[in-house]
Amino acid sequence: MPPLAAVKTPLYLKLARSLEEQMSRGVLRPGDRLPSVRAFSRQQRVSISTVLEAYIWLENRGAIESRPKSGFFVRVPFAKTVPEPRFQTPAPRPASFSASAIVREVIRSADRPGNVPLGSALPDPQLMPNAKLNQILRRIIRRYPMHSAEYTFPPGAEGLRRQIARRALGFGCSLAPSEILVTSGAMEALNLALRAVARAGDVIAVESPTYFGGLDAIQSLGMRVIEIPTHPSEGMSLDLLENAIRKHRVKACVTISNGHNPLGYVLSDDYKKALAELTAKHDVALIEDNLYGDLAYGPRPPKLAKSFDQKGNVLLCASISKVISPGFRLGWIHAGRYQEELEQLKLKTTVATATLPQLVAGEYLESGGFDRYLVRLRIAFAEQVRMVSQAVAKYFPEGTRITRPAAGYLLWVELPKKIDSLKLFRMAVDANIGMVPGPIFSTTGRFGNCLRLSCGYRWSDTIDRALVTLGRACDEIARGGVRSQA
């Protein structure tokens, strides 16, 4: 197995992982009380805050729970018998399989009334701050009755850009509001970033598997994708990325460093630094998609590769789609040395981003309470991921593997080799159950036995029953009871 770059894991994470290991081996069992924070810090010779961070991280992942005045206790183990997906390392080469037709089917089927929402990467609307947004909306309409009568030209509404810059500090990035360009969602940010740094025919390196919308964007611009083998919790191999850069003259690299879609990992600070340095060394633009960064379960916001960017080489893209509103279609980009070009491209593409959502989101972010809301949201998602993981462990066939997300609400499931996830997808569509088949996360047709489940919705009996149905469908496919459909 090729080594990942030598990256250091933070102490609290090492401690948390060793406790997780003890839980999975049954040394610590459900209901067991963990040592007190003070006692454990003495025993491990680490600071009290390191132990607290480790406990909070485990609590956010649903592995332990704190009981008032009693301490921390082990919960029902997180999918204890189900291992993580394997790290596979096929030789990277540019490939061109396009899954847009299946992507359209996935989106269309998710829109059907009564569809069980395990497919699209959408948060439960009930968890979103709708009431607060509506309140602000009413206030803004009263204050600026002419809001819809003019363009808000690039770079976008100043109040919103100030809030974005303020929040970026939490991710270790000092960005000037004037350098931030507001876009129509992260999708527009990604498209503009690609157009600014590469041309048709150029090679773009990506994690594998990766978000199908990003793959679609690269291919629709006539660029070629090269997939870098990616560890399910530690990111793409930096050694293999460097080889690919040397061999295929890679022009840009796309990474989803916090809350990867579909793997759910959060890369370590050392990894991000190494990635920023490696790409800068070879003059390869780094497009960093931080869509899920606010949903990292850790005690503090994770850093970004952008925070280690010395040369303006990182184009940081994000949006409010996963934490405030997907419907506002509001995203942004900090494009480093490509900023001027980005603004030109924005003008040529959509001219400006809609004004009203910018005003509402800017005020919402300023109004306070967003961080408290995010804590509740993260806890809800971690719990939903835990429930779905347990159900997969219970209902899916022997040999199934699942990721251990460190952010967000997406779960990547690796089924036994002989189970074709496209067949499973067709059966799920017939049963009106959402799920996303693995091959659309690749341009090579890989991941035929994998699928992504979204845990964005509150746990319910309906979701439980849907997972029973999917588990049975897997059994049926494994027995050979379902014929292939071309």
Ligand X SMILES: Cc1ncc(COP(=O)(O)O)c(C=O)c1O
290 vs 400, beta carbon nearer ligand X: 290
Decide if residue 319 touches ligand X (CB under 6 A).
yes
254 vs 359, beta carbon nearer ligand X: 254
Closest contact distance (angstroms) between CB of 228 and ligand X is 16
329 vs 423, beta carbon nearer ligand X: 329
Closest residue by Cα to residue 269 from 173, 131, 161: 173
Q: What backbone torsions phi and psi does residue 277 show, to the nearest 5 degrees?
A: -70, -40
Euclidean distance between CA atoms 405 and 148, whole angstroms: 41
Closest residue by Cα to residue 393 from 86, 118, 78: 78
54 vs 186, beta carbon nearer ligand X: 186
Tokens standing for 264? 């759910």
For residue 408, give every residue at least 6 positions away whose Cβ sits within 8 Å of its Cβ, in sequence order, or none. 259, 261, 264, 292, 295, 322, 381
Q: What backbone torsions phi and psi does residue 74 show, to the nearest 5 degrees?
A: -75, 130
Euclidean distance between CA atoms 37 and 266, whole angstroms: 25
DSSP 266: B
Closest contact distance (angstroms) between CB of 353 and ligand X is 12
For residue 212, give every residue at least 6 positions away whose Cβ sits within 8 Å of its Cβ, in sequence order, or none. 99, 103, 436, 440, 441
Q: Which residue is nearest to ligand X (CB)?
A: 185
Decide if residue 321 touches ligand X (CB under 6 A).
yes
Tokens standing for 4? 């990942």
Decide if residue 441 touches ligand X (CB under 6 A).
no
Among positions 241-260, residues that touch ligand X (CB under 6 A) are 256
Decide if residue 230 touches ligand X (CB under 6 A).
no
63 vs 215, beta carbon nearer ligand X: 215
x/- letters, 266..305, toward ligand X (CB under 6 A): -----------------------x-x--------------
Closest contact distance (angstroms) between CB of 331 and ligand X is 5
Contacting range for ligand X; rule: CB under 6 A; set: 58-66, 185-193, 246-254, 471-479:
185-193
Contacting range for ligand X; rule: CB under 6 A; set: 133-141, 182-190, 398-406, 412-420:
182-190
Among 331, 405, 434, 438, binds ligand X (CB under 6 A): 331
216 vs 309, beta carbon nearer ligand X: 216
Tokens standing for 173? 């990035």
Concatenating the DSSP letter of every residue in 178-214 gives GGEEEESHHHHHHHHHHHHH--TT-EEEEEES--HHH
Among positions 134-173, residues that touch ligand X (CB under 6 A) are none
Burial group, residue 37, by CB count within 10 angstroms (0-12, 13-18, 19+): middle
Number of residues that bind ligand X (CB under 6 A): 14
Decide if residue 121 touches ligand X (CB under 6 A).
yes
Burial group, residue 160, by CB count within 10 angstroms (0-12, 13-18, 19+): buried
Residues interacting with ligand X, by CB under 6 A?
Answer: 121, 185-187, 211, 213, 256, 261, 289, 291, 319, 321, 326, 331
